DNA sequence: TATATTTGAGATTCGAAAATCTCAATCGTC
DNA sequence: GACGATTGAGATTTTCGAATCTCAAATATA
């Protein structure tokens, strides 16, 4: 079950890593994240750019530069990250990929899928970066 | 939110179409399905082959040939189709795509995602082809 | 101000899924 | 038995997301 794109997955892993370091008001180097997590550096810069443009992160060039979360990890939710990277219409898509599907002209699985998406969205809305990072306290855990 | 592959989507649309025709013990031509639903003929034959090999369908070559459901539509569930086409491990995958993730060594989102997948799987298990086809009674509905 | 470090941005390459094409196998009908 | 209709199977091409590469812009530090 492939739900998120690679870009989102990488970014999520990176943000969980950043959150777990819990260093406020300090830039974390993208290069360092890339090395620690074995994620393509250039791939990361691209996704971080998007999040910076959308206001979730602040970035800083030059030595001691990097990225920094703009809000406390308790106030950043999974849904924010996913919508910013996958697009605001992430939860609006039809299971069968039918372009015309909607409330006005629902496909056979429209209502079924609407419920499923609603439940998933609720989970994403209630799960913060702090929740996700909490699991990482255990050092043996791999991200 | 992209959940199913194109192959599965096409097959699902095709099976809903077949189910909605409600013609027992009669072969439905793949060519006809392809034309009606504007789905690539060769793509359909491929996915139907898989379902035939796995016992969900019976196929028949030659004139008046086609495919036929092996069970009543009430007894074919969404989960069957999805697992046959996407693979039996469809609901086992890690949200972050981490290969080592599992009960023994869970990733930060493992338990969160396990619950979500469990709920989705349950929905798929409880939704039959008959349920999906029921919506099609309305002729204006597009599949 | 010179330099090393780091992100920004876009071009290019790679690979897997998607789509198409070709021919073989099967079978009803005449 | 010949022919046309239809699925079976695999090869080939196309497309698009993923990954890489290259250079520009910014800035801390000495």
Segment B6-22 shows an average pLDDT of 91
pLDDT(B21) > 90: no
Q: Is the pLDDT of residue B143 over 60?
A: no
Q: For position B17, what pLDDT does the model report?
A: 92
Structure tokens that stand for A86 in this block: 């996958």
B1–A86 CB contact, under 8 Å? yes
Mean pLDDT of B124-134: 91
The C-alpha atoms of residue A88 and residue A80 are separated, in whole angstroms, by 9
B39 band by pLDDT with thresholds 50, 70 and 90 = very high
Residue B68 in contact with residue B48, Cβ under 8 Å?
no
Judge whether B106 is closer than 8 Å to chain A, CB to CB. Answer: yes
Domain range list for chain B: 6-137
**B77-126 pLDDT, tens digit each:** 999 999 999 999 999 998 988 877 888 888 888 888 998 899 899 999 99
Note the CA–C1' distance, A67 to C6, in angstroms. Answer: 11
Torsion of CA B109, B112, B114, B116, to 10 degrees: -130
On strand C, nucleotides with any atom < 7 Å from a protein CB are: 4-10, 17-22, 25-29
pLDDT at A129: 93
Residue with tokens 């034959």, as numbered in its chain: B45
User: What is the longest distance spanned by two Cα atoms in chain A?
Assistant: 56
| pLDDT (0 to 100) of residue A135 | 66
Helix, strand, coil shares of chain A, percent, nearest 5, are: 55, 10, 40
Percent of chain B with pLDDT over 90: 66
| Residue B138: pLDDT over 80 | no
* CATH number for domain B6-137, candidates 3.40.50.280, 3.30.565.10, 1.10.230.10, 1.10.10.10: 1.10.10.10
For residue B98, give Cα distances in angstroms to A29, A95, B93: 23, 25, 8
**Helix, strand, coil percent content, chain B, rounded in steps of 5:** 55, 10, 40
The answer for residues whose C-beta is within 8 angstroms of residue A79's C-beta and 6 or more apart is A121, A124, A125
Whole-number Å distance between alpha carbons of A64 and A77: 27
* Contact across the interface for B106 and A135, Cβ inside 8 Å: yes
Query: What pLDDT, on the 0 to 100 scale, is given for residue B23?
Result: 79
The pLDDT of B114-140, averaged and rounded, is 82
A7 touches B: beta carbon within 8 Å: no
Distance A52 CA to C9 C1' (A): 14
C1' of D9 to CA of A98 (Å): 29
Residue A107 CB neighbours (<10 A): 24
Those residues of chain A that have pLDDT short of 50 are 138-141
Q: Cα(B122)–Cα(A119) distance, rounded to whole angstroms?
A: 13
- pLDDT of B141 > 50? The answer is no
Taking residue B117's Cβ as centre, other Cβ atoms within 10 Å add up to 18
The whole-number pLDDT of residue B140 equals 46
Which of A22-31, A78-87, B11-20, B49-58 shows the lowest mean pLDDT across its residues? A22-31
**Nearest partner of A135 among B104, B106, B96, judged by Cα:** B106
Helix intervals (H) in A22-77: 30-37, 41-53
| CA-only gyration radius of chain B, Å | 17
Residues B132, A108: C-beta atoms closer than 8 Å = yes
% of chain B residues with pLDDT over 70: 94
Using the beta-carbon criterion (under 8 Å), do A105 and B13 form an inter-chain contact? Answer: no
């Amino acid at each position: 079950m492939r739900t998120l794109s690679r870009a989102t997955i990488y970014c999520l892993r990176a943000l969980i890593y950043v959150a777990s370091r819990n260093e406020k008001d300090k830039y974390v180097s993208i290069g360092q994240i890339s090395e620690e997590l074995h994620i393509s550096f250039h791939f990361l810069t691209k996704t971080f750019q998007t999040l910076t443009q959308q206001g979730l992160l602040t970035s800083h060039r030059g030595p001691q530069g990097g990225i920094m979360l703009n809000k406390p990890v308790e106030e950043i939710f999974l849904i924010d990250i996913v919508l910013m990277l996958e697009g605001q219409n992430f939860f609006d898509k039809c299971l069968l990929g039918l372009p015309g599907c909607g409330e006005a002209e629902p496909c056979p699985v429209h209502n079924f899928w609407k419920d499923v998406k609603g439940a998933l969205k609720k989970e994403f809305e209630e799960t913060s970066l702090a929740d996700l990072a909490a699991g990482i306290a255990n050092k043996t855990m791999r991200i």
